[in-house]
Amino acid sequence: MSLLEREIFALIMFAGTCLFLICGFPVAFTLGGSALLFGIIGWVIGAFDMSFVAAMPQRIFGTMTNEVLIAVPLFVFMGVMLERSRVAEDLLDSMGKLFGTLRGGLGISVCIVGALLAASTGIVGATVVTMGLLSLPTMLRRGYDPALSCGTICAAGTLGQIIPPSIVLVLLGDQISNAYTDAQRAIGNWSPEPVSVGDLFAGALLPGLGLVVLYITYVALTAWLRPKAAPSIRDEADADMSAWETIQTLANALLPPVILIVAVLGSILTGVATPTEAAAVGAVGALLLGGMKLEHSRRWPIMLTFAALVVMLMLARWVDLRVARDTIGQGDMIGIWVAVVCTGIVFLGIGESLRRVWSMGILQEVMRQTLMISSMVFVIIVGAGLFSLVFRGLGGEEMVHEFLTNLPGGVFGAMLVVMLVMFVLGFFLDFIEIIYVVVPIVGPVLLRMDIDPVWLGVMIAMNLQTSFLTPPFGFALFYLRGVAPPEIRTMSIYKGVAPFILIQIIGLGVLAAWPELATWLPDVIFG
């Protein structure tokens, strides 16, 4: 069979897989099943060499032993535990009191809370559902425009895809790293500088915060131009609160998630921990927060545990805690004994938190949800790995390389086409399929064009975030539709997210014009 016929067969395979996914078949089994089906057909007609499939066990084993992917179930556990511990409810209530006297204050509060939850949970479904249940009825009751309310909640909920720590960035970082290694080897560089998940976390921080600013700006402009769409509110009970009571209420709501954000992101950006180790810190922190929320009257054991964790992080940064050394200085020995005491305190605090969440029946539900989500992710990874092997065996990778390199406009044309393809696929496919099907195909080709891998990863992440808002299969739309009051029409949700989709596209354009927004912070932090 000629090369052209093999490439046409690869295109048919890709189109058929997309068709099966649109029809609603399970993603993981569709990817793996389509790959096997077209692989066998290709082998029969002489278009495919089955030796490509022989590499599949090594791929599965590589996925099982990939330390980066261990962060996925840990971040999922952190997000689900925080959802159950009612952190979002306290945040929304406090932010509503703080900004409620402003026009559009509730909408601004939703954007800020969405950013804080994104930096502490990173799970879109939990954030959208929680804010839909808590803030949407309040916004409607206060006279907010239904479309503006729905759009703000959906958009703020998707910030967990771009603001670290994000499961998207963890999965994307693994794929970008592999693609960058392949691209460098293809041009003769056998010892390339590694691209880590931490690089993507640092690179996505400024673009993510920029999106939050754009969202708040849109809500504020809407409130200024259409005051009836986003009126100000003020409760008499809130008006009677003193300044000290307001500060105390705000601190009680803000301190727990801020401490967790500092512990997770701070440990990564300062180099104290890898993203996987920071995910473990986040899971423990979420467990402690859950225990503190459940027995609010007995907070001191958990607060003492948080203090011990902070001391341990500082010691790990500034003191050599290794005990297997010939000589240990007096200062190091003091630090080691302080770390031992802090470790004991942390174990006691974790045990107390486990007792509380177990007795309330929360731990069982959190573990079940974590197992279900993590299993879904890893089964999709296996299916996508088989798909990419068969697609490569059919000559699809060479076809994509020739297509992108021969486009008019060079690097700009190739990036524009890839971003458009991902944007369109986001209307129908989930971000995990796009990451594990499209990125391994186009990533090495783009990175061979001397594109910065961190900038490419952040561009793809921001594009994938848009897929949660685009109908007909935007997941944020489904999440909100499931918890919205009956009087909210589906068309109101679609109408409300349209301006935020445009904001996403503007954000992509700004990031494309100034790549330094994604590359400056990683260069400053990691060199």
Last residue of a domain, one of 392, 415, 437: 392
Considering the domain architecture, whether residues 180 and 204 belong to the same structural domain is answered as yes
Closest CA to 424 of 494, 505, 515: 505
In this structure, is residue 80 part of a structural domain?
no
In this structure, is residue 76 part of a structural domain?
no
Considering the domain architecture, whether residues 121 and 217 belong to the same structural domain is answered as yes
Considering the domain architecture, whether residues 349 and 254 belong to the same structural domain is answered as yes
Considering the domain architecture, whether residues 381 and 404 belong to the same structural domain is answered as no
Last residue of a domain, one of 392, 409, 443: 392
Q: What is the pLDDT of residue 235?
A: 55
In this structure, is residue 505 part of a structural domain?
yes
- Asked if residue 439 lies in contact with residue 460, where contact means CB atoms within 8 angstroms, the answer is yes
Q: Give the separation between CA 379 and CA 383, rounded to whole angstroms.
A: 6
In this structure, is residue 313 part of a structural domain?
yes
Q: Give the separation between CA 308 and CA 316, rounded to whole angstroms.
A: 12
Let me know how long the chain is: 527
Residue 370's contacts (CB-CB under 8 Å, 6 or more residues apart) are 73, 76, 77, 80
In this structure, is residue 516 part of a structural domain?
yes
Q: What is the pLDDT of residue 242?
A: 62
Considering the domain architecture, whether residues 520 and 401 belong to the same structural domain is answered as yes
Considering the domain architecture, whether residues 429 and 456 belong to the same structural domain is answered as yes
Q: For 338-374, what is the HEC assignment?
A: HHHHHHHHHHHHHHHHHHHHHHCCHHHHHHHHHHHHH
In this structure, is residue 496 part of a structural domain?
yes
Considering the domain architecture, whether residues 345 and 367 belong to the same structural domain is answered as no
In this structure, is residue 195 part of a structural domain?
yes
Helix (H) or strand (E) holding 415: helix 410-425
Considering the domain architecture, whether residues 355 and 380 belong to the same structural domain is answered as no
Considering the domain architecture, whether residues 423 and 492 belong to the same structural domain is answered as yes
Residue 361's contacts (CB-CB under 8 Å, 6 or more residues apart) are none
Considering the domain architecture, whether residues 47 and 167 belong to the same structural domain is answered as no
Q: Which domain holds residue 51?
A: 1-70+361-392
Residue pLDDT tens, the chain, 527 long: 667 777 788 888 888 887 877 776 777 788 888 888 888 888 888 878 888 788 788 878 877 877 778 888 888 888 788 777 777 677 777 776 777 677 888 888 888 888 887 777 666 666 787 778 777 887 888 788 888 888 998 888 888 888 887 888 888 888 888 888 888 887 777 777 778 888 898 899 999 999 999 999 999 999 888 888 888 766 544 555 566 666 776 777 777 777 777 778 877 777 777 888 888 888 888 888 888 877 766 778 888 887 887 788 788 778 877 777 777 777 778 888 888 999 999 899 889 888 888 888 888 888 988 888 888 888 888 888 888 888 888 887 778 778 887 778 788 888 998 899 888 888 777 777 788 878 888 888 888 888 889 999 999 999 988 888 887 667 788 778 777 888 888 888 888 899 999 999 999 999 999 999 999 988 888 76
- DSSP tag of 50: G
What are the DSSP calls for 169-194, one per residue? HHHHHHHHHHHHHHHHHHTT-SSPPP
Q: What is the pLDDT of residue 207?
A: 93
Residue 237: burial class (beta carbons within 10 Å; 0-12, 13-18, 19+): exposed
Last residue of a domain, one of 340, 359, 378: 359
In this structure, is residue 110 part of a structural domain?
yes
What count of Cα atoms within 13 Å lies in the side-chain half-sphere of residue 285? 30
Count: domains in the chain: 3
Closest CA to 100 of 157, 139, 152: 139
Considering the domain architecture, whether residues 60 and 5 belong to the same structural domain is answered as yes
Considering the domain architecture, whether residues 170 and 230 belong to the same structural domain is answered as yes
